[in-house]
């Protein structure tokens, strides 16, 4: 048996913003899949709470439509109805007083209580205050908050302080859904449960590391928000930073929340400031019918980046001398999130020049097709001398484990259930988020001070030419986006 359902105690989960996009696309379908997997306690209560005037029946209809549209595999009307029976709805105003008494009547004090703040961060303070003011959240209640967690260090500190007025750090679950992915956890297993990799996991043997999060979509309907953020704030400060931490961190003494997060924090604090010539910002240009970034955000002079590539260094004993290349952007050639650890060449080539140069690469793919592959060099089979080829060694083990692998839960499913279990390992701690902003802020201030304008790149490409040059100058190449 490879994975098994760990039962969770009965709970009340309130989804503030329960009618919003995130709730419909991610949270409700994730809860339904956990229900199908048999992990939902029979008397769990899932309470949507938002401004729209709905009753329970209206919310169940909304949830049914969301699950049909975004829920993936369906399991028939009877099971869906059974799930929908767990849903309740309260109309309330986060900033006002209506609805809070009704919510209080629904919450059972003897259950695990979780409050998902699926609303803009501007409402976090109002929600936290009322949860206490109305005596709804008990001392062990948990709150879940989404990105963006602040816009810079000052705003992140202010948000942390607001939440801290009402909740202890142990009650706050800051979601970065990248951490909920199966492969991210598999990365930790491969690193810390095998003797094989750890001795090589340092600047003596690792040439460089590439982290790529490429999207094919543009800014879509999020233009107004995105144009104030840009790729650095929207992606690098959180998702790419978290991936970098997991690759670079020292082995924690235990797989426990604070032990893991302490090690991640040390990595962020060891990051050197990025030199201006190690940053390339880009903005997608129109291609055929595909509008440009500036058209998408309706600002012909926007200088916000929809693409960023940068080179950074973790200055500690393990990583001194090994560059980390980070790259993310919208409207790129393919949708892919991948970390690649590129090992150094063998120190001496006994097979001669004609055998070519080969290096081992460990690639960890987060989406699509989650998986982990080790590229190894072998002899090309057959006659004709010693020709070498690189072949992938699949380390996801899906094939080896075959039928024993149960359906792997998606990120939101795992993370929501971790909240119910009270496990914070895969959530960001307040000081981590602040440290990430402390690293990000001067980089942004630097290009703002220089009046830097992003380089245009063609939609459907791999980003601006300068990003390729960032690597070429170092005698390296980006992995293909595909
Ligand atoms: P949305 O605008 O679609 O939904 C907002 C929800 O909040 C609605 O249910 C609305 O009724 C409710 N709401 C607004 N003002 C309220 C008030 N005063 N009182 C009570 N309820 C109120 O937003 P969304 O896309 O679902 O995003 C929610 C949060 O999650 C945001 O912070 C967003 O940045 C974050 N987030 C969203 C996504 C996504 O994919 N949509 C991804 C990552 C993070």
**How far, rounded to the nearest angstrom, does the alpha carbon of residue 407 sit from its chain's CA centroid?**
20
Instruction: Give percent of the chain above pLDDT 90.
Output: 85
- Mean pLDDT over residues 409-426, rounded? 95
Distance from residue 297's CA to the centre of ligand 1 (Å): 20
Distance from residue 119's CA to the centre of ligand 1 (Å): 4
Q: Which CATH architecture has domain 11-146?
A: 3-Layer(aba) Sandwich (3.40)
The answer to whether the CB of 306 is under 6 A from ligand 1 is no
- For the cut 70, the answer to whether the pLDDT of residue 399 exceeds it is no
Query: At 369, is the pLDDT very low, low, confident or very high (cuts 50, 70, 90)?
Result: confident
- What is the token pair recorded at 432? 């981590």
Mean pLDDT for the chain? 94
Of 4 and 190, more confident: 190
CA distance 168 to 205: 42
Helix (H, G, I), strand (E, B) or coil at 72: coil
Residue of minimum CA distance from atom 7 in ligand 1 = 17
pLDDT at residue number 386: 83
pLDDT at residue number 3: 54
| HSE-CB of 165 using CA atoms within 13 angstroms | 15
Q: Mind listing the pLDDT tens digit for each residue in 272-295? A: 999 999 999 999 999 999 999 999
Distance from residue 260's CA to the centre of ligand 1 (Å): 30
CA distance 352 to 6: 54
pLDDT at residue number 364: 94
Active site residue 239: yes
Distance from residue 326's CA to the centre of ligand 1 (Å): 29
SS3 content of the chain, % helix, strand, coil (to 5): 40, 20, 40
pLDDT at residue number 403: 60
pLDDT at residue number 466: 98
The answer to whether the CB of 50 is under 6 A from ligand 1 is yes
Query: At 351, is the pLDDT very low, low, confident or very high (cuts 50, 70, 90)?
Result: confident
Q: Mind listing the pLDDT tens digit for each residue in 86-127? A: 999 999 999 999 999 999 999 999 999 999 999 999 999 999
* Residue recorded with tokens 């790729």: 231
- Mean pLDDT over residues 339-356, rounded? 88
- What is the token pair recorded at 130? 């009322």
Query: At 408, is the pLDDT very low, low, confident or very high (cuts 50, 70, 90)?
Result: confident
| HSE-CB of 108 using CA atoms within 13 angstroms | 12
Q: Which of 239, 277, 278, 358 is catalytic?
A: 239
* Weakest-pLDDT range from 70-74, 336-340, 365-369, 476-480: 70-74
72 contact partners, CB below 8 Å, separation of at least 6: 29, 33
The answer to whether the CB of 147 is under 6 A from ligand 1 is yes
- What is the token pair recorded at 383? 């006659």
On whether the CB atoms of residues 341 and 206 are closer than 8 A, the answer is yes
Distance from residue 171's CA to the centre of ligand 1 (Å): 21
Helix (H, G, I), strand (E, B) or coil at 435: helix
The answer to whether the CB of 171 is under 6 A from ligand 1 is no
Q: Which CATH architecture has domain 179-411+430-472?
A: 2-Layer Sandwich (3.30)
pLDDT at residue number 384: 77
Checking phi first, is residue 369 left (phi over 0); if not, alpha (psi -120 to 50) or beta? left
Domain ranges, ordered by start, for the chain: 11-146, 179-411+430-472
CA distance 74 to 7: 23
pLDDT at residue number 382: 87
On whether the CB atoms of residues 327 and 309 are closer than 8 A, the answer is yes
- Mean pLDDT over residues 408-431, rounded? 95
> From the alpha carbon of 147, which atom of ligand 1 is closest?
44
Q: Mind listing the pLDDT tens digit for each residue in 122-132? A: 999 999 999 99
- Burial class, 132, CB count within 10 angstroms (exposed 0-12 / middle 13-18 / buried 19+): middle
Query: At 74, is the pLDDT very low, low, confident or very high (cuts 50, 70, 90)?
Result: confident
51 contact partners, CB below 8 Å, separation of at least 6: 19, 91, 92, 93, 94
The answer to whether the CB of 122 is under 6 A from ligand 1 is no
The answer to whether the CB of 52 is under 6 A from ligand 1 is yes
- Mean pLDDT over residues 211-237, rounded? 95
> How do 371-379 and 388-394 pair as beta strands?
antiparallel
pLDDT at residue number 1: 43
Helix (H, G, I), strand (E, B) or coil at 153: helix
The three-point CA angle 83-86-90 to 5° equals 130
- What is the token pair recorded at 373? 């592959």
pLDDT at residue number 348: 86
């Amino acid at each position: 048996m490879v994975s098994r359902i760990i039962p969770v105690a009965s709970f009340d989960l309130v989804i503030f913003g329960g009618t919003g996009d995130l709730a419909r696309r991610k949270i409700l379908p994730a809860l339904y899949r956990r229900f199908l997997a048999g992990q939902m306690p029979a008397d769990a209560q899932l309470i949507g709470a938002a401004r729209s005037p709905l009753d329970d029946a209206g919310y169940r209809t909304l949830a049914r439509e969301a699950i049909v549209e975004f829920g993936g595999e369906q399991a028939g009307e009877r099971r869906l109805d059974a799930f929908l029976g767990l849903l309740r709805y309260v109309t309330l105003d986060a900033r006002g007083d209506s609805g809070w008494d009704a919510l209080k009547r629904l919450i059972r004090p003897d259950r695990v209580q979780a409050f998902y703040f699926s609303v803009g961060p501007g409402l976090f303070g109002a929600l936290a205050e009322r949860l206490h003011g109305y005596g709804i959240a008990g001392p062990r209640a948990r709150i879940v908050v989404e990105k963006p967690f602040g816009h810079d260090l000052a705003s992140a500190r202010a948000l942390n302080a607001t939440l801290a007025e009402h909740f202890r750090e142990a009650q706050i679950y800051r979601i970065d859904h990248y951490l909920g992915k199966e492969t991210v956890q598999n990365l930790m297993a491969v690193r810390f449960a095998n003797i094989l990799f750890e001795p090589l996991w340092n600047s003596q043997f690792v040439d460089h590391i590439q982290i790529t999060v490429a999207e094919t979509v543009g800014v879509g309907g999020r233009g107004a928000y995105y144009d104030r953020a840009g790729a650095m704030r929207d992606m690098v400060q959180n998702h790419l930073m978290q991936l970098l931490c997991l690759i670079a961190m020292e082995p924690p003494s235990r797989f426990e929340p604070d032990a893991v997060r302490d090690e991640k924090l040390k990595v962020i604090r060891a990051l050197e400031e990025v030199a201006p010539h190690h940053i390339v910002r880009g903005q997608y240009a129109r291609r055929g019918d595909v509008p440009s970034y500036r058209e998408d955000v309706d600002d012909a002079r926007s200088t916000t980046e929809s693409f960023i590539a940068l080179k950074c260094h973790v200055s500690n004993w393990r990583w001194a001398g090994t560059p980390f290349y980070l790259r993310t952007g919208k409207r790129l050639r393919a949708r892919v999130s991948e970390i690649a650890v590129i090992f150094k060449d063998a120190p001496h080539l006994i097979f001669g020049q004609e055998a070519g140069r080969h290096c081992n690469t460990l690639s960890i793919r987060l989406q699509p097709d989650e998986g982990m592959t080790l590229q190894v060099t072998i002899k090309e089979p057959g006659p004709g001398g010693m020709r070498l080829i690189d072949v992938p060694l699949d380390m996801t083990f899906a094939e080896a484990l075959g039928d024993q692998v149960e359906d792997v839960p998606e990120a939101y499913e795992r993370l929501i259930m971790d909240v119910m279990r009270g496990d914070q390992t895969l959530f960001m701690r307040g000081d981590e988020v602040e440290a990430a902003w402390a690293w990000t802020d001067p980089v942004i201030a630097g290009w703002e001070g220089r009046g830097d304008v992003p380089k245009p790149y063609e939609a459907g490409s791999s980003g601006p030419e300068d990003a390729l040059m960032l690597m070429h100058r170092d005698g390296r190449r980006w992995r293909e986006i595909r």
